[in-house]
A and B are shown apart, each in its own frame.
Chain A
Amino acid sequence: MLTNPLTKNIGTEGIATTLERYLENGGYRGWRKALQMSPDDIIKTVQDAGVRGRGGAGFNTGLKWSFVPRDEKAPPTRYLVCNADEMEPGTFKDRLLMENDPHLLLEGMAIAAFAIGARRAYIFIRGEYHLAAARLETAIEEARARKLVGTEITSTDFQLEFHVHRSAGNYICGEETALINALEGQRAIPRAKPPFPQVSGLWGKPTVVNNVETLCNIPHLIELGVDWYKGLGRGEDGGTKIFGASGRVKNPGAWELPMGTPIREIIEQHAGGMQDGLKLRGFLPGGGSTDFLGPDQLDLPMDYDTVGKAGSRMGTGTITVLDDQTCPVGLVLNLTRFFARESCGWCTPCRDGLPWAVKLLARIECGEAQPEDLELLREQAQRMGPGNTFCALAPGAAAPILSALKLFEQDFNDHISRGCCPYDLERQNIPLAV
């Protein structure tokens, strides 16, 4: 049984899978099968398999597709957009997939486009991913020449044009409505929902935006079926996932593993555990906008709902590991600086709230804070929480702050009572200048 559908073609590091090799390995079989199916059946298959959005939100992909109006009265023009704007701190999974096996993404996109009736598909890729963008462009040319995509696809009158849109470095573009604005050549700010993009998205037309890894799940699911897909998972969710670990572990990296793989297994077995002399203090399960969890949560399986119930989110599934000799306050300050910089400025709690949070955290880190500043920081973070903002950026930024205040309370207090950062500054490279 195939157990590594996302990475089975990935060979020697640094060399992309060519169309020849992709076809030899059974590539585009899912696409050929999809062309014999009805769009409704494809959507039902994806929905029944329970494929969940790998960008971090975990929404049922088939359900998302089903919201696209497809009756006679529906607008004839629809779009598929692949969100390849991977910019979440600590996340490095989509780069791996696009650089090494670009055809897998194209095949997934072709099936998705066929299912929702989109004849134009965009890959919205972050401008820093030069190699991935170049390899995708080559792959599109290869697939077009072989009549797998384009205006003359073999044995169908369905047409599908691809375009790689290179962005230029802006975190908010990962938010799907900001991404749509950016693709239209507008400033990348989120749109109010409803209407949802599935009904009115790019240029006002029905649009589905899916993450790279989500789309890479589709070809084998269509080829091998729902039961196979569900059987891959070890826990509640089906399929496999690119999990990863970074930080001061022995063997940082990314691995395709079953959904539901326990966090301990990822960190201790695949990442080789902590570097010598270090202990694990906590971890961000899936990117900078997920809540910190502590060592007591290591046995949690990586499933969307399980990690959610534990008070965090699985997010992108690439774990950032915090060791016991790195200052947690410094790490939260670093993350908050990132979010403050990347706030698009569209709504007040985010635009104004994040710089305040940075100031408070910097004061704490430098030992210049008063005890009441902790409550102020907590209140400030809560004000950036869900329901107060246009999009998920500020609530995501609040997640590591609020969870760190709980999990590393002693560290925050120590900074204040000692009037300095208790960690070894030279060794830890804490920013001295605020």
Chain B
Amino acid sequence: MSSTIAADTIEVMEQQDTDPRSAGRSLTAEEKRDIDREFSHYEDRDSVALEALRVVQKHRGWISDDTLYAIADYLAVSPTQLESIATCYQLIFRQPVGKEVIFLCKSSSCWIMGCEKLQRHLEEQLGIRPGQTTPDGIFTLLETPCLGDCDKAPVMMVGEEMHRHMSADKLDEFILEKKKHHADQSAD
């Protein structure tokens, strides 16, 4: 069997690469403006890939396949290349996440200080395992490598906030507070 690919097949592949199967896959003017702002910091358009993913994720919460195609199109890079970048970073979400993403530090110092026990507690209280989101859409639990706060272990990061010297009691307090916060917000 010949290993060469027929010319018309290549054409189809190329079209798919640059012109994804379309409708609903475009960036908003605001997203484009936010990405444009980053271009001046780098030598070429490709270099903005991560920044573009972050900017759009800020607007949409996560990067769906459609979103990925839209960004790739805008930067004129292949979706495959952009996917290879999106998937190597833990802060880029390729699946929907909850409003509060809990990054529980699982590295050596936090392990010595009891992060496994904390994790079991969190899993019991929230009813989810790492990588899952609670049915109410509030919490996502993720394990993270060292957060660089080892003298205050065990620690976790939620959004941009560090939670230090964690304990089961402090976790309960945190969960209650966040639940209340989101209940108040949806009541408003």
The chain A residues found within 8 Å of chain B, CB to CB, are 86-92, 94-95, 126-131, 163, 165-172, 182-188, 203, 244-248, 252-254, 284, 288, 318, 320-323, 326, 330-331, 334-335, 337-338, 341-342, 344, 429-431
Contacts and interface: CB of A to CB of B under 8 A. Distances in A.
16 contacts: A89-B107, A91-B150, A92-B151, A127-B91, A167-B50, A182-B50, A184-B44, A185-B47, A185-B49, A187-B84, A246-B150, A246-B151, A318-B150, A322-B112, A323-B112, A338-B106
Interface residues of B, number: 44
A117 B53 CA distance: 32
Given A91-B150, A246-B153, A344-B88, A331 B108 contact: yes
A128 B157 contact: yes
B88 A334 contact: no
Contact of B149 (A95, A165, A330): A95
Contacts of A334: 106-108, 111
B90 A429 contact: no
B112 A326 contact: yes
B48 to A, nearest CB: 6
Interface string B131-165: 00000000000001111111111000100100000
Contacts of A288: 107-108, 146
Nearest to B116: A429
B111 A91 contact: no
A91 B85 CA distance: 26
Nearest to A288: B108
Nearest to B142: A169
Nearest to B103: A128
Q: For the complex of A and B, list the 3 residue pairs with the smallest distance between their C-beta atoms, beginning with the closest.
A: A168-B89, A246-B150, A169-B90
A222 to B, nearest CB: 28
Contacts of B81: 186-187
Given A88-B146, A318-B150, A163 B41 contact: yes
Interface in B90-146: 90-92, 103, 106-109, 111-117, 144-146
A182 B47 CA distance: 8
A400 to B, nearest CB: 9
B169 interface: no
Contacts of B90: 168-170
Nearest to A247: B112
B151 A252 contact: yes
Nearest to A134: B160
A365 to B, nearest CB: 12
Nearest to A161: B41
B114 A252 contact: no
Given A167-B89, A184-B46, A252-B150, 13 more contacts: A126-B148, A128-B91, A128-B147, A170-B90, A182-B50, A183-B47, A185-B44, A185-B77, A186-B46, A246-B153, A248-B112, A334-B106, A338-B146
A326 B150 CA distance: 17
Contacts of B112: 246-248, 320-323, 326, 331
B43 interface: yes
B142 to A, nearest CB: 10
Contacts of B48: 185
Nearest to A400: B108
Contacts of A188: 88
A338 B145 contact: yes
B149 A187 contact: no
A4 B16 CA distance: 59
B148 A95 contact: yes
A121 B92 CA distance: 25
